[in-house]
Amino acid sequence: MGAMKAQPENSASGPLLMDPFGRAITYLRVSVTDRCDFRCVYCMSEDMAFLPKRDLLTLEELDRICSAFVGQGVRKLRITGGEPLVRRDIMQLFGSLSRHLDSGALDELTVTTNGSQLARHARDLAACGVRRINVSLDTLDADKFRRITRWGDLTKVMQGIDAAQGAGLKVKINTVALKGVNDDELETLLEWSHGRDMDLTLIEVMPLGEIDGQRIDQFMPLSLIRARLASRYTLKDIDDRTGGPARYVRVEETGGRLGFITPMTHNFCESCNRVRLTCTGQLFMCLGQEDAADLRAPVRASESNELLERAIADAIARKPKGHDFIIDRRHDRPAVGRHMSVTGG
């Protein structure tokens, strides 16, 4: 694929996208692929059927949609997947979007990754203006890592984290708390992360997509984990925000930050500033709702952005107040049928 043709530069003074509840939408999460080189047990079935490549937005279309959002006041873009760094020529998209950082229209361009491809891409990400990244990592035990991811190699992830820090990227570790799987090593993960100057964020398992097994067996409320950690460490609430849903504490013994994302036991909808674009151009106004707007059709219908901007405005106007996540204990059905890898982290 040749060099991407950049869309015209967008103004940082574009109108804010306001939802019906007065929340400014300043954060767009963009899934560039539903594919992944792992098959984590809480995220996917082992035998996944992925989307045909013809259904995916091209890199140019992804750039155009992201740029339209930046032009309407979005200040943060997070590239997700699946595993975003397995998308062919993905660094072309980062390189093109970096112009919005250079112009000041965008505050942050970042990525969530499983770390498997970081050793190859870390320096290029830094060169594109990426300053911090999230790495999803649920255990430091190589055998357990293989069981959780089914296909993953912990050594490659560790090499990727080394490369990211070597390139000057600030790394945050995201860990899904899984009852009976990794809940016994959260203290170890905490001290390891903080010992390497990395924040750690703990996440409750979410009821998205059919998986092999039962989520009720995986779910562990973070309120219990926080109480356990508080018996060993001094946790001080802080007001730090990184643009996402995590609530942070400072761990006085380590000096590091610990975040909690609790969509099940304490939702964070009242301050939601996010929408999510799938790799096929569907815009989800809420991770926990099925309502979506098709942005691929207006992009492909016209070279002008008028139809696209109208579709975005119409979608934001129906953003819901909150999600309806619940783990169905009677029937073990997911609250939402699509997998997390489809919506994008």
Sequence ranges of the binding site for S-adenosyl-L-methionine: 42, 82, 136, 206
Parallel/antiparallel/unpaired status of strands 247-251 and 257-261 = antiparallel
Per the CB < 8 A criterion, the answer to whether 279 and 32 are in contact is yes
Q: Which residues participate in the annotated binding site for [4Fe-4S] cluster?
A: 36, 40, 43, 269, 272, 286
Neighbouring C-beta atoms of residue 101, cutoff 10 Å: 18
Q: Which residues of 38-57 are buried (b: 16+ CB within 10 A; e: fewer)?
A: bbbbbbbeeeeebeeeeebb
- Extract the annotated binding site: 29, 36, 40, 42-43, 78, 82, 112, 136, 172, 206, 269, 272, 274-276, 286
> Residue 93: exposed, middle, or buried by beta-carbon count in 10 A (0-12, 13-18, 19+)?
buried
| Consecutive H or E run containing 343 | helix 340-343
- List the one residue out of 190, 258, 181, 262 whose CA is nearest residue 221: 262
Are 316 and 285 in contact by the 8 Å Cβ rule? The answer is: yes
Cis ω for the linkage preceding 82 (within 30 of 0):
yes
Three-state DSSP at 103 gives: helix
274-277 β-sheet, strand order:
235-237, 247-251, 257-261, 199-204, 170-177, 132-136, 108-113, 76-80, 27-31, 274-277, 282-284, 292-294
Phi, psi of 254 (to 5 degrees): -105, -20
| SS3 annotation, 217-278 | HHCCCHHHHHHHHHCCCCEEECCCCCCCCCEEEEECCCCCEEEEECCCCCCCHHHCCEEEEC
Pick out the residues of the known binding site for GTP.
29, 78, 112, 172, 274-276
312 alpha-carbon distance from chain centroid: 20
Q: What are the residues whose beta carbons fall under 8 Å from the beta carbon of 11, sequence distance 6 or more?
A: 71, 105
